[in-house]
Amino acid sequence: MAGNRHLQTLLRRGKKFNAKHGNGTKKPVYVRLIDFDRPDRNSFVAVNQMRFVRGASVRPDVTLLVNGLPLVHMEIKSLAQDNDWTDATSDLRDYEEAVPRLFFPALLNVAADTQSFRYGAVGAKPGFYFPWSKAPLKYQDENDLKQATQALLNPRTLLDIALNYVFYEEKEGGTAKIVPRHMQYYAVRRLLKRLREGDKKRGLIWHTQGSGKSFAMLYAAKNLLERSVLGSPQIFLIVDTDKLATQMGNTLSAIGFERSVVAKSIDHLQRLIEQGQSQLVLTTIQKFQDVATARQGNDEVVVMADEAHRFMERRLGNNLEAAMPDAYHFGFTGTPVHEGESDVARSTFRNYCPDGEPPLHHYSIRDGIEDEVILPVYFTLRHEAEWDVDEAAMDEAFDLELGHLSEEEKMKVVREALTPTDLGEFESRIEVYAGEVIDHYEKQVEPNGWKGMVVAPSRKSAALYGTKLQERRPDGDVEVLYTEGDGDEKLLSQFHTTSEERDDIISRFKDEAQPKLLVVHNMLLTGFDAPVLKTMYLDRRLKDHTLLQAIARTNRPADGKTNGE
């Protein structure tokens, strides 16, 4: 991958030479092997069965040459011969290992069969080959394979991706090359188009959870900082939790996003706004609570809000707009909110879709499932379990305490004194449902190597679930995560964890054998990606976008995983 990274950088930036002029002076010039600005000035050739020899010999089915450089390698299989696109990815990996230098100039690989088209970055595993299932009108075709080929591999798109849409991410085990998915690419192009036109200053990117909104925002930031879309813009990437800020900050570091800074405090954010330096600023929305108004130091500010439905219609969103009144605003969300037409009702569409226009780009749950970017999530109601209640003793105690009241007065007391949270914390109830969880997990989930998450209605109920589940499972199998409270009783304090301990538990849940079950109340219901998570045991009343965000934790693909539940 180091060779690919070096040569791709050379192709984008050009090679420096000291050119000698007629007067004897020397002047540095950069020579590019590819003209990215004018694609029609390059040579594009598709070669069938071109053999490459360097120690070993390989022969991809099709190689796309740009000015003689092999930019794309394609392997095509026939279903009639009992081979499909996954076999093609295996051949491509073999070619990469046999003649690695052949893939130094390569942007991406294509694996196809007579029904499917998939593409992936050089070095990608089969699980990271994706379809290119959407296309602009000029490239649309009834034949899906022809459409994908035209939409992705046309000269203009191919060179655009090579120049403006490639990251290299440092991970455990090595470097991974990142190229865009079609929804990311087309969403960013529409965002850039809106900024070039300049007549509207807002837009909504509505992409379902798990489709890669974070990288879509980073591609947008990269293009804005490196291309002449605006002059020298300042980009703000806004998240609404410290956890998401940490995750995004880690990603910026891993991909080497040089022109970026993380706002450390309210005062630091204030200085960054006033200085107006052309760079990407990562911050949480909460830091805008005490930022001074109208201190925008850059006339071209672009704000991209992650999970925009969660805060942009509220007070903190107003503070943000007051601090940078002339900014462009783009919202990214998988679950936009529309609670009504009144001015006080929350509406992501009203906030980001000027004049009632549709979203700039929409990628739905159905799109994600069809592209196999996410998995379907199936629902099973398990609410009819019987739990032990001494009704006679309860009635006796009730009459003893409230027998002097009328029936109407008694019902009023019940409604006011007994909340859903109280019901959810009945130990006898949790005893039964913990048994249901264990029975289902041990029969349906654990045998296939997957993990589970219990979502409890309160911190106390989470502690009770943790206690009951730990009694039934080996040490280390069950961990409980929730925020600490001052003066917590022993039942709750036994599961207190530090931030470092929580990070360790989450890391082990994703990558190691234990823990196998997590019990949570509020934590990890958004922004938590763990493909090993198959089943969510939901014992908490969630609705609307909060429910969709939570259950989407189970929809991440993994080898052998067919659905979440």
pLDDT of residue 551: 87
Mean pLDDT of the region 401-423: 72
Q: What is the pLDDT of residue 393?
A: 65
Q: What is the pLDDT of residues 102-127, one digit of tens each?
A: 999 999 999 999 999 999 999 999 88
Query: What pLDDT is stored for residue 58 in this prediction?
Result: 93
Number of other residues whose CB lies within 10 A of the CB of residue 454: 26
Average pLDDT over residues 351-356: 86
pLDDT of residue 32: 87
| Parallel/antiparallel/unpaired status of strands 62-66 and 69-76 | antiparallel
213 — pLDDT class (breaks 50, 70, 90): very high
Buried b (16+ CB within 10 A) or exposed e, 357-386: eebbbebebebbbebebbbebeeeeeeeee
Residue 414 pLDDT more than 70? no
Sign of CA dihedral 145, 150, 155, 157: negative
| Neighbour count for residue 1 (Cβ, 10 Å) | 17
C-alpha 523/C-alpha 53 separation (Å) is 54
Mean of pLDDT values over 156-178:
94
Average pLDDT over residues 334-353: 73
Using a pLDDT cut of 70, give the percent of the chain over it: 93
385 pLDDT exceeds 80?
no
Please say if the pLDDT value at position 383 is more than 70.
no
pLDDT digits (tens, 9 = 90+) for 455-511: 999 999 999 999 999 999 999 999 999 988 888 899 999 999 998 999 999 999 999
Per-residue confidence (pLDDT) for residue 354, from 0 to 100: 86
How large is the average pLDDT for residues 231-237? Answer: 95
Q: How far apart are CA 381 and CA 379, in angstroms?
A: 7
d(CA 330, CA 206): 10
Average pLDDT over residues 200-222: 93
pLDDT in tens, 283-340: 998 998 888 888 889 999 999 999 876 655 566 677 888 889 999 999 999 888 776 6
Q: pLDDT tier at 255 (50, 70, 90 boundaries)?
A: very high
Checking if the pLDDT of 404 tops 90, the result is no
Q: Residue 9 pLDDT more than 80?
A: yes
Q: What does the pLDDT look like over 183-199, one tens digit per residue? A: 999 999 999 999 999 88
Confidence tier at 341 by pLDDT (50, 70, 90): low
Residue 163: both structure tokens together: 């120049």
What one-character-per-residue DSSP string does 365-389 give?
A: HHHHHHTTSS--B------------
Segment 23-50 shows an average pLDDT of 89
Res 347 pLDDT > 90? no
Query: Residue 188, class by beta-carbon neighbours within 10 Å (0-12 exposed, 13-18 middle, 19+ buried)?
Result: buried
If one compares 242 and 466, the residue with the highest pLDDT of the two is: 466
Q: Answer yes or no: is pLDDT of 431 > 80.
A: yes
